[in-house]
Structure 1
Amino acid sequence: MSELTALDKTAWADATWPLGTHVDSDGGVTFAVHAPAATRLQLEIYPEALGATASAAFLPARGTDGVWRARLGGLEAGALVGFRAWGQNWLYDEAWAPGSAAGFIADLDEQGNRFNPNKVLFDPYSREITHNVDTDALAGLGVDVGVFGTGGDLVDGAPRRQIDTAPYAPKGVVVDEEAAAADKPQLPPERAIIYETGVRQFTGHPSTARLTDLLAGEPGFEDVPDIPAEYQGTYRGAGLLAPYLRAAGVTTIEFLPVHETNASESARPGATNAWGYMTLDFFAPNRQYAADRSPGGPTREFKEMVSAFHAAGMEVYLDVVYNHTAEGGNWNGDVATTGFTSLGGFATAEYYQMTGDKRLVDGATGTSNQMSYSSPAARRLVLDSLHYWSAVMGVDGFRFDLATVLGRLPADAAPDDWGALKRFFNEHPLLTGIAALAEAENIEVIAEAWDLWGYEVGNFPRGWGEWNGRYRDAVRRFTKGDANTADFLNMVNGDYHHFEDNGGPQKSINFVVAHDGFNLADLVSYQTKVNDQPYPFGPSDGGSDDNLSWDSGGDQGLRRQRLRNLWTILMFSRGVPMVVAGDEFGRTQNGNNNPWALDSTAMRNNYAMIATNAPQRVAVEDGTGAVYHDNLGVFDSPGERVNPLFRFSTFLMRLRGRHACLHRAAWGDLAAGGDDVSYLFLTPAADGAPREGDRALAVHIDAPDDGFRLMINMADTPVDFRVPAAREGRVWRRLVDTAVSAERESNCWAEGEGVAVADGAAVQPWSVLVWHEAAQPDAG
């Protein structure tokens, strides 16, 4: 590093450069941090991430906008940066030195800010950070996460607030990677088939090294490479698997959180978060998911991964967590004790909701530090983060964890009138601001539309898509025989009543399972969760007790049949389908419905399940001797290396992509003709509409040049269905039959290849039959 120089220092306070750390075109590096209540800020440069003290220090200037700015010369990409902050609760005293109490008045000020110059902070806008708070490296320095705490608890005879965290705290990394991403595919949102996965879940299993062999004989998968061991579980490995998802018919991969999170590198018990729902930095890609962990490496590698998906014609969505952070709340309920390393150390009152006595709120999130989006600074943070990931990192869409928190008022400020509360939510400046950004940048934004304070599916502002929990529950219930007919049909039709004024059925994200709950094979195999089992499939805390699951009476054949039912209904419903990684070939979590802390090989996609007709009998390959529960048994297949479920699920995803009538952006009316696509719901006899309590019904998808007839029988006896004659010049052909008796043919036939059928059919218990109205072949 060349000699550091404070550039244009007299202009710092009045500068307008953006928040964050940026390498500018003149060879300088600018810094801008929001800390309006701070009385002094010190910028420090570090030679190492851990175990070192600062090698240089500078004093930024405070602008009238509450932002502290500095510009340095001689600093290069890869430099490590930290900050110290003083305020009214801890005034600057010339006698102060790291580890000193000089200037201390209290642990928090009247607004709830927690300034403490002994606790080194990283810029919340840092493009990368060196490590997270739960890093195993702290143990090598003889300390643990307790060093980050404030308050008066004694540690080695001194109050905890006096521990200097310079050798331990995460540092911001100067990253010179601001170039815009390559062109995006810009797929119409209604075309999406979303595949939800974690980076490690997707490519972290040893079986990825044998993909060319495991996928041999599967048409369309010839371009899928083997993943070298050094790339397994990384962004680079995920990019190499783009051809796998493209061949399967998926259009969109949605990653569980990739923002830097608190997690041990070795999956140390009590310090593991395999799903990543503890965001430490809203701009930094998780360094542990990168093969290249050098400064700037995770950023470059992530962008290269996105480019690989874009080159395959696919889009990339991110699951993002803006409702809380990894900084935690009040330790042991003590208002004076926190462990801030970034946001809270600069401006607690600007970023976090607090009670009247300045305790951090543990309300809608259950995580002890709910973000406050009544604050313009907090709203700006989210919008700036989204813009960065979209415009620079190339991301095509976002799914927001507990998105309702983004539109919540503090509990003591909420109106009593429900109508007024709903209007406020629908008009909240952050929710509408995100929708406006999405429109301007042509990206998709999807809400998990509930939190611990309420359920808001269908209430988000125009422009938002929403995870449709009503769809999940209705389909789960109907397919286990609950005969909730009206709800089921409303969901198959795209939940018109909740989404008709929000842009179309594509705003309903339909799913039967998601990462947080049973996966698909377990949904049909367990009555209750099994979370108290030993590693690597447990133990796990939490997890819903209300799963609307059924173990299919222990019948392995029925379980396989019901899996196909769920795949069929999902792919033929109006709206956007979302599937979970590994469900395409029968992955199991052995009944664990909340493995958030299990960063184990057993929870990753085992692609060996594709090359066998007994997918849950393959080895776990984790060295522990663990085995999968064999809930599905042996499929009746053409050969031992064929998994009929894999062929069936990929057939359906490809089919949906080929037929425009299955991914429309608007509801058709009940009359045929024009461009309308109508979903008509009928009794098996086709003599009227289904009634509540019916367990068998037909869905007729009527398009001008295409058509399907779904015959759904969730009764425990066969049911005869009548099908009117095909239109002139066309013929009905069998397309899908989920019954066990059709497994040898993978339960599906390509359009035009299925046997011609007419009049109707007897549909077996707990099964779905689909006919396709195809063109009549020429008589000659």
Structure 2
Amino acid sequence: MPETIVIARPTAASTATISTKFGANYNQQSNNVSFNVFSKNASLIQIYFYKEAYNAEEVLTKSLSQHGDIWDIEFPLTELRNAGITTDYIYYGYRAWGPNWNLHDNWQKGNNIGFNSDVDSNGNRFNPNKLLIDPYAKELSHNPQIAKLYMDPPSYIDQYYGGDAFRNADTGKIAPKSILLLNENQTNYGVKPNRSLKDDVISEVNLRGLTIMDDKIPQNERGTYKGAGKKAKYLKELGVTAVEFLPVHEFANEQNDDGDPRGDNYWGYMTINYFSPNRRYSSDQSPGGPTREFKEMVKAFHAEGIKIFLDVVYNHTGEGLLKRMINNQGNPTSKKDIEQVISDTRDSRWKDELQDFNAACYLSYAGLDNQSYYYLRDGNHRYEGRGSCGGNLNYDNAVVKDLIIDSLKYWADAMGVDGFRFDLAPILSLTGSNNNYWPNFHTTIFQDISNALPSRSASTNGDGVDLIAEPWGVDNNVWTEKFPSDWAVWNQEFRDRLKTAINKYGIEPIPNWKLANVLAGSDIIQKSPWNSINYFVSHDDCNSLRNVFSYNSFWHLDEAKEHDDQISWDQGGDIELQKKAVRNAFTLLMLSPGVPMFAGGDELFREIPPYNPGVGKMNMVSVDTPEVYLDFKKYNEMKDYLNTGDIKTANQVIESDNNLYTFSFVKNLIKFRHSHESLRPSSYFTGTVLANGLKDITWYKEDGNVLSNNDWDGTDFIAYRINSQFEKVQNSNDKADSIYIAYNRSPQEINVHFPKNLSGKYWYRVLDTDNTNGWMTQHINFDNGSTLLETEYTLHERSVLVLVEK
């Protein structure tokens, strides 16, 4: 193709019927292809077609017609065939002109003819030298190339930026291409579970990390959608009913494979496109492969009754935005030098003097209509960075709100997803500018999402999707009660109060009343128990339950400094106490009303290696190495023995291995939760006396008497009895009359007297997290209690006891 492009200005009228659906479409009946993209401020948009995705010139160029704020075109597929594109997929991208870059017939790729400014007073940043991704593309060909810098959000190679040095750099050969699949994917994603959220147990996991080290998965399928689908049976065995994947929308992570840690992104919270499944996670790299393989994975999980939740990031994009003005970092190799470059560059995220406002990154939204897609500040020359993660999408703009809802509906309806967790959700409600933000409590975006999908009524079984919010965003403000009644939220109070109870005895005493609130369903949420997602750790921060009980401080990898704010304690370096602390945490998590969530791998006593002796690691956003992957080596060994009928050796492996011992414990604990409706109620306890003469919940002292008003400030011991008649369903298999849970958080053993039984009933031990007498080694009596106890019991230090009355 010649480098000089004659600009063909489209006519306003068209005889073709243009679809108003955004994105690319193929009509088999008419054999026409159509392309539709939004831009309120463009003066011309052209579409470029390619035979190859990388290092190739375009083979056909067309100008789109403008109809209001929609630019569109429809033409026969034969035109693409005549141009040499014979595949059942089409590679394409957009170029756009606007007020800051005038149309000019003599413009050619790689020059600045028509240029006025990189950014004007309205925030326009049009640059026709940059090939742009279709915001509604269903797949992308590849990632944009990442700059080798130790930082997050991402920075890309220079060619993607504007500014004096790079505005003329053409990205047509290197930019990711949007893909139109001519054959609509018909892969079935199975039957969606319609179970209520209150009955779910969630495992949060990175999709790649789930299987990348599993030698039972074929090597080419490890770390992929296909490999993940093969772990559905494992999660079913564990008792998990919903798996929450860290982001799988397309983000730049292909460079993670190059052996150079600079610029890596493992977590995925830097979305490039909200419709495309991440290509690196697919074993089938052909166009259409990621979509097909994702749906096959969903079907595998649905076949086991497991929901798929996606962590979604609509508050900011991973477009890179303004170029950082920092010195060349080189390629440091020593720990000290790496720490120094991180320290030197981290402030460039939010310090204006370290960012060139003329040099924006052009991947998609900024080049199509910067002022429509993003919140702008400083004379519309800079981007709002609410949450310090990157440029915030302008969710007050109808086109952005539609983009969010259309993306959610696509993943729910076309891809089979059952629920969504919204990263930094309150940012979608913020107003204000220039680092002065406040919540807009009148926002309708969350209710609009509920209505459009629609949401599932989480207290009852039914169709729809489950909606979960991360309820903080700016300045650590937590927004738990402002979401619609059908949204659940991550419960920070549950996390912090229970970590404090386990780890800070005698240092930061936590009174019984504070503990009782979260153990009984967290009515601080002000809705229902199931509105609370209860958890101890997630992908954030220290990322491992074992590590919370193994280190006193953590090295923040993204800040290059040590933190002691994780409410952690190494239990004096005693591995047995660390194991007990993990058992305590899982027991309190699984027996508390609300929806339990844990980080995948914690059921295997997963440890993330220390940064320095005695100092753990936290915020491992860019670490894509075995230290963050799940290790199934011992589990697979145990299953091999079971599959050959060698049950004795399998049990010996379980008893001798910390990972499998914890797995067996958690598996039985989840089974116990599933067996008792009163542990997962749809409403809060009120102290009401039920038909069997017991209150729905009763709180006790160690002497067996009911807690009085003066006892609520105690910090050593708390016990409670849940009436199994509370919300018991008809034909329930729950044979217990009540469940008794006692927690000794003190460093001394306590002689506990049990409450008086109902007539003809007795107390049976289900579990004691202490193993002083060795009773738990073989998980004796774990199912529903078969060890008959007398009226009192020695509860060892820092232990939880669970009984059933029957």
TM bin (shorter chain): 0.7 to 0.9
**1:684 corresponds to which residue?**
702
**1:231 corresponds to which residue?**
221
Is 1:174 aligned with 2:180?
Answer: yes
In 1, the alpha carbon distance for the partners of 2:113 and 2:49 equals 23
Tell me if the contact between 1:404 and 1:451 (Cα under 8 Å) persists in the aligned partners: yes
Aligned residue for 1:479, secondary structure, equals helix
Query: Alignment partner for residue 647 of structure 1, among 652, 659, 664?
Result: 664
Tell me if the contact between 2:45 and 2:71 (Cα under 8 Å) persists in the aligned partners: no
In 1, the alpha carbon distance for the partners of 2:744 and 2:703 equals 13
Query: Alignment partner for residue 702 of structure 1, among 714, 723, 727?
Result: 723
Instruction: Specify whether residues 522 and 265 from structure 1 end up closer, same or farther in structure 2 by C-alpha distance, changes over 3 A only.
Output: closer
Q: 1:663 corresponds to which letter in structure 2?
A: R
Query: Alignment partner for residue 358 of structure 1, among 367, 380, 404?
Result: 380
Query: Alignment partner for residue 497 of structure 2, among 474, 477, 490?
Result: 474
**1:55 corresponds to which residue?**
59
Q: CA deviation at 1:545?
A: 4.1
Instruction: Specify whether residues 86 and 543 from structure 1 end up closer, same or farther in structure 2 by C-alpha distance, changes over 3 A only.
Output: farther
**1:399 corresponds to which residue?**
421
Aligned residue for 1:749, secondary structure, equals coil
Q: CA deviation at 1:24?
A: 2.6
Instruction: Specify whether residues 135 and 70 from structure 1 end up closer, same or farther in structure 2 by C-alpha distance, changes over 3 A only.
Output: farther
Tell me if the contact between 1:647 and 1:746 (Cα under 8 Å) persists in the aligned partners: no
Q: CA deviation at 1:639?
A: 4.6
Tell me if the contact between 2:55 and 2:174 (Cα under 8 Å) persists in the aligned partners: yes
**1:95 corresponds to which residue?**
106
Q: CA deviation at 1:694?
A: 2.0
Aligned residue for 2:357, secondary structure, equals coil
Instruction: Specify whether residues 476 and 641 from structure 1 end up closer, same or farther in structure 2 by C-alpha distance, changes over 3 A only.
Output: closer
**2:233 corresponds to which residue?**
243
**2:777 corresponds to which residue?**
745
**1:253 corresponds to which residue?**
243
**1:735 corresponds to which residue?**
766
Query: Alignment partner for residue 436 of structure 1, among 451, 456, 462?
Result: 451
Tell me if the contact between 2:491 and 2:532 (Cα under 8 Å) persists in the aligned partners: yes
Aligned residue for 2:34, secondary structure, equals strand
Q: How does 1:526-605 map to 2 (within 5 A)?
A: 526-530=551-555, 541=560, 545-590=564-609, 591-605=616-630
Q: 1:198 corresponds to which letter in structure 2?
A: N
Q: CA deviation at 1:456?
A: 1.1
Q: How does 1:285-324 map to 2 (within 5 A)?
A: 285-324=277-316
Q: CA deviation at 1:315?
A: 0.3
Instruction: Specify whether residues 636 and 230 from structure 1 end up closer, same or farther in structure 2 by C-alpha distance, changes over 3 A only.
Output: closer
Q: How does 1:61-80 map to 2 (within 5 A)?
A: 61-74=65-78, 77-80=88-91
Instruction: Specify whether residues 446 and 748 from structure 1 end up closer, same or farther in structure 2 by C-alpha distance, changes over 3 A only.
Output: farther
Q: CA deviation at 1:593?
A: 1.6
Q: Which runs of 5+ in 1 are unaligned?
A: 1-6, 138-142, 154-159, 210-225, 416-420, 533-538, 614-634, 775-780
In 2, the alpha carbon distance for the partners of 1:642 and 1:463 equals 37
Q: CA deviation at 1:610?
A: 3.8
Q: CA deviation at 1:455?
A: 2.0
Is 1:457 aligned with 2:480?
Answer: yes
In 2, the alpha carbon distance for the partners of 1:448 and 1:650 equals 27
Tell me if the contact between 2:147 and 2:263 (Cα under 8 Å) persists in the aligned partners: no
Instruction: Specify whether residues 30 and 354 from structure 1 end up closer, same or farther in structure 2 by C-alpha distance, changes over 3 A only.
Output: same
Q: CA deviation at 1:146?
A: 0.6
Task: Single out whichever of 361-370 and 676-685 deviates more from structure 2.
Answer: 676-685
Q: Structure 1, residues 22-63: CA drift from partner, whole Å, max 9, x if none?
A: 223423222111111000000111111110111001111111
**2:431 corresponds to which residue?**
409
In 2, the alpha carbon distance for the partners of 1:93 and 1:62 equals 18
Q: Structure 1, residues 260-291: CA drift from partner, whole Å, max 9, x if none?
A: 10121415322210111111110000000000
Q: CA deviation at 1:259?
A: 0.6
**1:517 corresponds to which residue?**
541
Instruction: Specify whether residues 163 and 363 from structure 1 end up closer, same or farther in structure 2 by C-alpha distance, changes over 3 A only.
Output: closer
Tell me if the contact between 2:123 and 2:380 (Cα under 8 Å) persists in the aligned partners: yes
Q: 1:168 corresponds to which letter in structure 2?
A: I
Tell me if the contact between 2:225 and 2:282 (Cα under 8 Å) persists in the aligned partners: yes
Q: CA deviation at 1:728?
A: 3.1
Q: 2:668 corresponds to which letter in structure 1?
A: F
Aligned residue for 2:674, secondary structure, equals helix
Instruction: Specify whether residues 187 and 674 from structure 1 end up closer, same or farther in structure 2 by C-alpha distance, changes over 3 A only.
Output: farther
In 2, the alpha carbon distance for the partners of 1:358 and 1:642 equals 54
Q: CA deviation at 1:667?
A: 1.9
Q: Structure 1, residues 434-456: CA drift from partner, whole Å, max 9, x if none?
A: 12234356101111110124321
**2:334 corresponds to which residue?**
none
Q: 1:323 corresponds to which letter in structure 2?
A: N
In 1, the alpha carbon distance for the partners of 2:563 and 2:464 equals 35
In 2, the alpha carbon distance for the partners of 1:278 and 1:380 equals 20
Q: 2:221 corresponds to which letter in structure 1?
A: Y
Tell me if the contact between 1:236 and 1:302 (Cα under 8 Å) persists in the aligned partners: yes
Aligned residue for 1:161, secondary structure, equals coil
Q: CA deviation at 1:648?
A: 0.5
Task: Single out whichever of 171-180 and 575-584 deviates more from structure 2.
Answer: 171-180
**1:344 corresponds to which residue?**
366
Q: How does 1:147-226 map to 2 (within 5 A)?
A: 147-153=159-165, 160-175=166-181, 176-177=183-184, 179=186, 181-205=189-213, 208-209=214-215, 226=216
Q: Structure 1, residues 627-675: CA drift from partner, whole Å, max 9, x if none?
A: xxxxxxxx99745698321110111112111221111211233124269
Instruction: Specify whether residues 543 and 385 from structure 1 end up closer, same or farther in structure 2 by C-alpha distance, changes over 3 A only.
Output: farther
**2:644 corresponds to which residue?**
none
**1:3 corresponds to which residue?**
none
Q: 1:734 corresponds to which letter in structure 2?
A: R
Q: 1:708 corresponds to which letter in structure 2?
A: I
Instruction: Specify whether residues 708 and 672 from structure 1 end up closer, same or farther in structure 2 by C-alpha distance, changes over 3 A only.
Output: same
Instruction: Specify whether residues 122 and 611 from structure 1 end up closer, same or farther in structure 2 by C-alpha distance, changes over 3 A only.
Output: closer
Q: Superposition RMSD on alpha carbons, in Å?
A: 2.8
In 2, the alpha carbon distance for the partners of 1:12 and 1:86 equals 25
Instruction: Specify whether residues 191 and 128 from structure 1 end up closer, same or farther in structure 2 by C-alpha distance, changes over 3 A only.
Output: same
Q: CA deviation at 1:405?
A: 1.0
Q: 2:754 corresponds to which letter in structure 1?
A: V
In 2, the alpha carbon distance for the partners of 1:232 and 1:44 equals 35
**1:493 corresponds to which residue?**
520
In 1, the alpha carbon distance for the partners of 2:315 and 2:221 equals 31
Instruction: Specify whether residues 557 and 182 from structure 1 end up closer, same or farther in structure 2 by C-alpha distance, changes over 3 A only.
Output: closer
In 2, the alpha carbon distance for the partners of 1:752 and 1:150 equals 66
Q: Structure 1, residues 114-163: CA drift from partner, whole Å, max 9, x if none?
A: 100000001011001111113699xxxxx97111110112xxxxxx1011
Instruction: Specify whether residues 369 and 64 from structure 1 end up closer, same or farther in structure 2 by C-alpha distance, changes over 3 A only.
Output: same
What TM-score comes out, normalization by structure 2 length? 0.83
Aligned residue for 1:173, secondary structure, equals strand
Tell me if the contact between 1:344 and 1:351 (Cα under 8 Å) persists in the aligned partners: yes
Tell me if the contact between 2:717 and 2:746 (Cα under 8 Å) persists in the aligned partners: yes
Task: Single out whichever of 399-408 and 72-81 deviates more from structure 2.
Answer: 72-81
**1:276 corresponds to which residue?**
268
What TM-score comes out, normalization by structure 1 length? 0.85
Instruction: Specify whether residues 9 and 128 from structure 1 end up closer, same or farther in structure 2 by C-alpha distance, changes over 3 A only.
Output: farther
Q: CA deviation at 1:329?
A: 2.4
Tell me if the contact between 1:40 and 1:87 (Cα under 8 Å) persists in the aligned partners: yes
Q: How does 1:117-132 map to 2 (within 5 A)?
A: 117-132=128-143
Q: 1:370 corresponds to which letter in structure 2?
A: N
Aligned residue for 1:736, secondary structure, equals strand
Q: How does 1:598-617 map to 2 (within 5 A)?
A: 598-610=623-635
Instruction: Specify whether residues 555 and 114 from structure 1 end up closer, same or farther in structure 2 by C-alpha distance, changes over 3 A only.
Output: same
Tell me if the contact between 1:126 and 1:281 (Cα under 8 Å) persists in the aligned partners: yes
Task: Single out whichever of 143-152 and 343-352 deviates more from structure 2.
Answer: 143-152
